[in-house]
Amino acid sequence: MIINLSQTRYNTIVYTGTPEITNNKYSLHFPWSRVFHRQFAIKLWLFCMDGRDRLPNQGTISKSWWSFVSCSRHVQSLYQGTFHYKPTPEGWWMKCNGEVFRNDDQFFPQLLYYTRNPTAQITNLLNSIGAPTQVTWNNNAIWYRVVKVWQWLQNNQLRAGTTAYNEAERYISDLGHWPSLNEIAIMYDNYNGIWWGTCTSRALLFGALLKAVGIPSDKFAVVEAYTRPEYSQHYFVVIYLNNHWYYLDPIYIHVNLSNQNIISAGSGSADYVHPYRIYLLPGSRIPGVPLVE
């Protein structure tokens, strides 16, 4: 007996295999990521090639990849005891029972709209950054854009105590919400620089700019971890390149990044390796909180 796995049409075979048969039990092992790519949950039904039967008789069965995998890795975090992780089809480790947040309107208001429909102020901002904006999945090209955004932030953060700094802070504070890409661009246009405040606002603004220069939402996210004093929260960005998660903490924007070496950037007491919560960018399909290693 041969089982063909297909998607959408019966004649589009994406994998062929021979199942193991024990009495009435059939099992088939196949490479999930090769067959379903970045789809971590699928709908399926089984049918007999001669048309005599199918399961279920109507509708589909929903099946998640996670239901097949156990939490087999146990890692000691800095402040929260032992975290348990399971491997993903792409090879990285995901925290079991990690907290996943998606709230585009709150954290990244209108980001997809403005990346597709840039205003004159956004165009001016992106021209100043100097990175391409078309979407790319190439790891080297992505890191090049990360470095361009990082260096732009180094050079364009306003100096505390100046009139422009105080006015930009007042502008952002008066919004009453996290700024949209367009409001970030307006701030830059009006005050010839940016004010970006605490770790949370820095991580969200950095994330919005990374999305604006064509880095896919599936490649990076904002995460939250504990830091000292114990049980204080800290926010930063993580990015997945060359089968490896890196952390980038804009609080330490003075750290120099280069195009030649992909590295993590951050210091201090934050538990960069063991975030417990992830904030997804609009359109992201990252399924959970990564072990950053």
What is the DSSP secondary-structure string of 138-191?
A: -HHHHHHHHHHHHHHHHHHBPPTTSHHHHHHHHHHHHHSSPPPHHHHHHHHHHH
Residue 12 in tokens: 């589009």
pLDDT at 1: 39
Buried b (16+ CB within 10 A) or exposed e, 210-238: bbbbbbbbbbbbbbbbbbeeeeeebbbbb
Measure the CA angle with vertex 238, ends 111 and 125; round to 5°.
40
**In this structure, are strands 220-227 and 232-241 parallel, antiparallel, or unpaired?**
antiparallel
CB-based contacts of 59: which residues, under 8 Å, 6+ apart?
A: 45
Q: How far is CA 291 from the centre of its chain?
A: 13
pLDDT at 115: 97
Q: Residue 227 pairs with which residues in a beta bridge?
A: 232
Cα gap 102→289, rounded to integer Å: 13
pLDDT at 33: 66
pLDDT at 144: 98
Which of 115, 213, 205 lies closest to 168 in space, CA to CA? 205
Cα gap 112→7, rounded to integer Å: 28
pLDDT at 91: 87
Per-residue pLDDT tens for 122-153? 999 999 999 999 999 999 999 999 999 999 99
Cα gap 123→117, rounded to integer Å: 10
Per-residue pLDDT tens for 87-117? 988 889 999 999 999 999 999 999 999 999 9
Per-residue pLDDT tens for 176-208? 999 999 999 999 999 999 999 999 999 999 999
Per-residue pLDDT tens for 248-274? 999 999 999 999 999 999 998 999 999
Check: CB of residue 270 under 8 Å from CB of residue 262: no
Cα gap 128→155, rounded to integer Å: 11
Q: What is the pTM of this model?
A: 0.82
Per-residue pLDDT tens for 28-63? 777 776 677 666 677 777 777 677 777 777 777 777
Domain ranges of the chain: 3-68, 73-279
Cα gap 264→98, rounded to integer Å: 22
